[in-house]
Amino acid sequence: MDDMDEIVQEFLVESYENLDQLDSDLVALEQQPESRELLSSVFRTIHTIKGTSGFLAFGRLEAVAHVGENLLARLRDGQMVMTLSTTDVLLRMVDTVRALLNRIEETGVEGDVEVDLVVTAIRAVLDGEEPVLPPADGAGSTADDVAPAAAVAAPAPVVAEPEPVVEVVPEPVAEVVPEPVAVVPAAPAEQAPAAPETARAQAGSAAESTIRVDVELLESLVRQAGELVLARNQILQRASALRDEDLTRACHRLNLVASEMQEGVMRTRMQPIDHLWSKLPRVVRDLSSQLGRKIKLEMEGGDTELDRTLLEAVKDPLTHIVRNAVDHGIEPPDVRLAAGKPEVGTLKMRAAHEGGQVLVEVRDDGKGIDPAVIGAKAVQKGLLTQAKLDTLTTNDILQFLFMPGFSTAAKVTNVSGRGVGMDVVKTNIERIGGSVDVESTPGAGTIWRLRIPLTLAIVPALTVECAGQRYAMPQVNLLELVSLDTGRMANAIEDVGGAKVYRLRGVLLPLIRLEEALELKRPADAELPTNLVIAVLECDGRRFGLVVDRVLDTEEIVVKPLSGALKAIGSYAGATILGDGRVSLILDVQSLARRTMRADGLDHIAGQQVAAASTVADGQRLLVVGLGDNRRVAIPLDVVTRLEEFKTDSIERVGRREVVRYRGEILPLVRLSHHLGGSSRGARGAAELDAVPGVVYSARGRSVAIVVDEIIDIVSGQDAHSDIDDAGLIGSAVIRDRVTELLDVRAAILAADPNFFTEQAQKELAAASSRLGV
Amino acid sequence: MSTQYATFHLAGHLFGVEVRRVQEVLTEQPRTPAPLAPPAIGGLINLRGQVVTALDLRRRLWLPDREEGQVAMNVVVRAADEVWSLLVDSIGGVIEAADASFEPPPDTLSGPIRELIRGAYKLDDALLLVLDVDRVLELEATPA
């Protein structure tokens, strides 16, 4: 009997996975009714379910799958063509199958799940008649109120020419298929609707090179890999002091192996975000037909991978945002036409790696969010006064959307607008160390951006020193570092109503001195630091500066829990063990940020930020750097791995090229001012400084450094592009009222390291061919 | 009947903790201070990759602070679901104390320390004070 249970369990797991794919496949089929591949894939899934359910004596399931299979066979063989009503009955069939599987999972038997109606409806379609689908009785129970949506959609008169309600532009899933991913079970062939022939041919062998692994086991491997990395860090540090050649060699190998192993283990938990997205086409289709919207769903970057635990945590927030965009973002067709927009709204999902995080963007071209409405609502709710409201930036006002119980929906629908939602979205995303922000242009649309860490177990952190102690903080929150000598400090730090602020490029930045925040005591005889560093941090949409004595390093740290007594303090997010074996506390940046917001006298600072607020348009975030002759150059932030200060004396020449010693490696270097044919800042020429700021870009173990004269700011990209360009540039834009040149990053990287892309490309090719078993 | 105690010295007193509560005993360990923590928290130590909170028993028991340069030994104890290290002056041995010689806290002990002692054993050459580990680790009760 146990064997039997196991078989049923296996059948359920596999079927659920296949069904999720079916939903997207069917919606995609509406757009490409001719696609033999999609049809074959759908047919195979249903065929498998039919076969197995017959074997396991699930009669109802078999009956449903059987008629479904008949219909699919005709479609596949070209005897029938996909229409709106065919898709409807097929989706209903999937819902019914899912309901049956749920019942089997819960009770072990099929019970009395209603199947006759669906069977009749499919038969009707087979006979060329109009199917009569009754309202769903909650059969598609997996997608909460999505099922009723199908019900509303179904009885709609079927027009002769099927109108595209949802257009799905499927991302070629092919790339992710042949990769052996341990946690992605099921025959990949079924999951590759749009896979090209080559990948399809490989599908068989891919299935054989894939195994199921217990997630618990993976988790424990990840933990142990983290511990291994810590132990390695400690050994390396000790060994370097001993100057034993053999030991050094062994350590070097340990170093490599540990790094590679950690990377490998982390990759076993990575899954493409497609796993989560595959459910969205169905959600959008059902919701839009229920609400009478016409929506084209575009997806880009579905192969972006992130840790599966994070994927799970992002699922609900992301679905909520998508539903919200369909419900409140995109207008009904007539409203859109009246506003001079295309009838079909566009909902665009984009995922990409960006600076060690995964950026997930949901962008609609709907009516946008009117800050005036939000502001009025906030005043009405007594959250702030009108006078105060007038001083807030648009960005500040939109933050109200994330307040608990804040809903601006004129009428409450069952889709969204229940006053719960965005605050929960924010809480859930921040819980996993991510962030969410929103940007909207009334009339033009809204962009929601989720930034999610790649993984939870190991975080890149910045270590700083203050009053002789070291503290770590997650790099996620770090925007930039500003170094001040004490002489300049007196002038640079101003006092606004009792609170310290620093004028950072014209914008007042509230400051917190770590020394004061943690009530650190310096020994009486300790020398005061001759200069200080302001770590510019961002959290909850607020920027503030944390003043510390020194920045030590950037390091990958493993977060360890704190005992209850220390957790209760609220200033620490955890502890970690640094390379020398000493414990270091991890600062809770969020709680520090709240401290600034509480501070009196900072209320009117937001007003002064209005002047500097950029008119944000295009999604990309840019790093703005300064060069000689007052030039400003923008570099896309997603090619910035790290910002560094290079000691001038660590820069050396190798032939015609310059290199810099950096974290035990030799890094090729390009000076941007030379590269772009200009001069470095005259009086402050790089040679006279003892350190120069640099932008480090790393990809697959290779890094280059781009040395600039000054790091100025990070901004969101602009629309005002002009194609006035020059060698090494791809154009220019006006950013914060200054003409800013847009760097051709590829050319700059090649100037530093001509082989950067060649070898990387070769490696990628090699990796790709090994995946294909060549 | 008798009970086994791991003993240690603290400001001239002899203290004991039931052996089954003690995980291990360590010499002086580098400690990372925890700012804003209650004064009795002696910092954090790295116990084979685990971050363990150290409790300065002298402070917890209202005894005078250790002198400058005097080392602190670690008695690592298990409590509820956490591991703590108790900072003490020096480590004694394991003593088997006969239940018959157990008495409530002696009158000579007064003040907060009395609350944190379960009782005392009259040994031949000394008085063994039995620490109430669970109470000692209830830090909310510590006056700041």
The whole-angstrom separation of Cα A115 and Cα A99 is 10
SS (H, E, C) A273-303: CHHHHCCHHHHHHHHHHHHCCCEEEEEECCC
Tokens of A122: 């499919």
Contact (CB<8Å) A519/B49: no
Contacts of B49 in chain A (CB under 8 A): 227, 230-231, 577
Most confident of A12-21, A108-117, A547-556: A547-556
Tokens of B139: 């830090």
Domain stops at, among A450, A473, A497 = A450
A595/A635 same-domain check: no
Which pLDDT value is given to residue A565?
A: 83
A8/A47 same-domain check: yes
* Helix or strand (DSSP H, E) at A657: strand A657-662
Residue A249 lies in a domain: yes
Tell me which residue in A561, A564, A582 faces B32 most closely, judged by beta carbons.
Answer: A582
A440/A490 same-domain check: no
Which pLDDT value is given to residue A165?
A: 44
- What are the Cα distances from residue A154, in Å, to A72, A130, A252, A413, B105? 19, 11, 65, 20, 81
The whole-angstrom separation of Cα B30 and Cα A614 is 49
The sign of the torsion formed by the CA atoms of A150, A153, A159, A164 equals negative
Which pLDDT value is given to residue B77?
A: 94
A587 close contact with B: CB closer than 8 A:
no
The model's pLDDT over A721-745, given as tens digits with 9 standing for 90+, comes to 555 556 677 777 777 777 788 888 8
Nearest to A477 by CA among A422, A427, A546, A577: A546
User: What is the average per-residue pLDDT within B69-89?
Assistant: 90
A634/A536 same-domain check: no
Which pLDDT value is given to residue B90?
A: 94
Residue A81 lies in a domain: yes
A221/A113 same-domain check: no
End-to-end CA distance of chain A: 43
CB hemisphere CA count around A739 (13 angstroms): 9
Residue A445 lies in a domain: yes
The whole-angstrom separation of Cα A271 and Cα A672 is 37
A223/A338 same-domain check: no
With contact defined as beta carbons under 8 Å apart, do A608 and A262 qualify?
A: no
The model's pLDDT over A528-554, given as tens digits with 9 standing for 90+, comes to 777 889 999 987 667 889 999 999 988
Number of domains in chain A: 5
Contacts of A584 in chain B (CB under 8 A): 32
Contacts of A569 in chain B (CB under 8 A): 34, 36-37
Residue A92 pLDDT > 80: yes
pLDDT band, residue A102 (cuts 50/70/90): confident
Residue A470 lies in a domain: yes
Contact (CB<8Å) B46/A585: no
Mean pLDDT over each residue of chain A, to the nearest integer? 75
Starting at the earlier edge strand, list the strands of the sheet with B82-88: B22-26, B73-79, B82-88, B50-56, B41-47
Contact (CB<8Å) A582/B38: no
Least confident range of A374-378, A616-620, A696-700, B39-43: A616-620
pLDDT band, residue A270 (cuts 50/70/90): confident
A247/A137 same-domain check: no
Tokens of A721: 């592009």
B26 or A116: whose pLDDT is higher?
B26
Vertex A187 angle, CA A185 and A191, to 5°: 95
Residue A499 lies in a domain: yes
Tally of CB atoms within 10 A around A525: 5
The model's pLDDT over A613-632, given as tens digits with 9 standing for 90+, comes to 332 334 567 788 888 777 88
A418 or A654: whose pLDDT is higher?
A654
Which residue bears the tokens 């790089």? A686
Which residue in chain A has the smallest CA separation from B138? Answer: A565
Which pLDDT value is given to residue A773?
A: 42
pLDDT band, residue A611 (cuts 50/70/90): very low
Vertex A525 angle, CA A520 and A529, to 5°: 65
Which pLDDT value is given to residue A337?
A: 92
Chains A, B: CB contacts within 8 A come to 61
ipTM over 0.95 threshold: no
The whole-angstrom separation of Cα A245 and Cα B70 is 38
Domain of A540, in residue numbers = 458-612
What is the CA A337 to chain-centroid distance, rounded?
A: 33
Residue A206 lies in a domain: no
End-to-end CA distance of chain B: 40
pLDDT band, residue A267 (cuts 50/70/90): confident
Mutation for testing the A interface, residue in B36, B74, B78, B140 having most A CBs under 10 Å: B36
Domain stops at, among A430, A450, A470 = A450
Least confident range of A302-316, A351-365, A425-439, A534-548: A425-439
Look at phi and psi of residue A468 and say left if phi exceeds 0, alpha if psi is from -120 to 50, else beta.
Answer: left
Which pLDDT value is given to residue A535?
A: 93
Most confident of A417-426, A429-438, A709-718: A429-438
Residue A684 pLDDT > 50: no
User: What is the average per-residue pLDDT within B67-96?
Assistant: 90
A430/A329 same-domain check: yes
A683/A748 same-domain check: yes
Residue A699 pLDDT > 80: no
- Give me the domains of chain B, ranges plus CATH numbers: 2-136 (2.40.50.180)
Least confident range of A412-416, A486-490, B33-37: A412-416
User: What is the average per-residue pLDDT within A348-374?
Assistant: 86
pLDDT band, residue A609 (cuts 50/70/90): very low
Which CATH number belongs to the domain containing residue A598 in this structure? 2.40.50.180
A570/A425 same-domain check: no
Contact (CB<8Å) A561/B51: yes
A300/A353 same-domain check: yes
pLDDT band, residue A456 (cuts 50/70/90): low
User: What is the average per-residue pLDDT within A108-130?
Assistant: 81
Residue A154 pLDDT > 70: no
Residue A411 pLDDT > 70: no
Q: What would the DSSP string read from start to end of B7-62?
A: EEEETTEEEEEEGGGEEEEE-----B--TTS-TTEEEEEEETTEEEEEEEHHHHTT
Residue A38 pLDDT > 70: yes
- A691 strand-pairing partners: A647
Tell me which residue in A560, A569, A583 faces B37 most closely, judged by beta carbons.
Answer: A569
Q: What would the DSSP string read from start to end of A366-424?
A: SS---HHHHHHHHHHTTSS-HHHHHT--HHHHHGGGGSTT----SS--SSS-SS-SHHH
Domain stops at, among A612, A639, A658 = A612
Nearest-CA distance from B143 to chain A in Å?
14
Vertex A724 angle, CA A722 and A730, to 5°: 80
Which CATH number belongs to the domain containing residue A10 in this structure? 1.20.120.160
Nearest-CA distance from B34 to chain A in Å?
8
Residue A143 pLDDT > 50: no
Residue A638 lies in a domain: yes
Tally of CB atoms within 10 A around A336: 20
A127 or B117: whose pLDDT is higher?
B117
Contact (CB<8Å) A563/B82: yes
A634/A749 same-domain check: yes
Residue A742 lies in a domain: yes
User: What is the average per-residue pLDDT within A422-451?
Assistant: 84
Encode burial over A565-602: b for 16+ CB neighbours within 10 A, e otherwise.
bbeebebbbbbbbbbebbbbbbbbbbebbeebeebeeb
Residue A365 pLDDT > 60: yes
Q: What would the DSSP string read from start to end of A95-129?
A: HHHHHHHHHHHHHSS-TT---HHHHHHHHHHHTTP
Residue A243 pLDDT > 80: yes
Mean pLDDT over each residue of chain B, to the nearest integer? 88
Which CATH number belongs to the domain containing residue A324 in this structure? 3.30.565.10
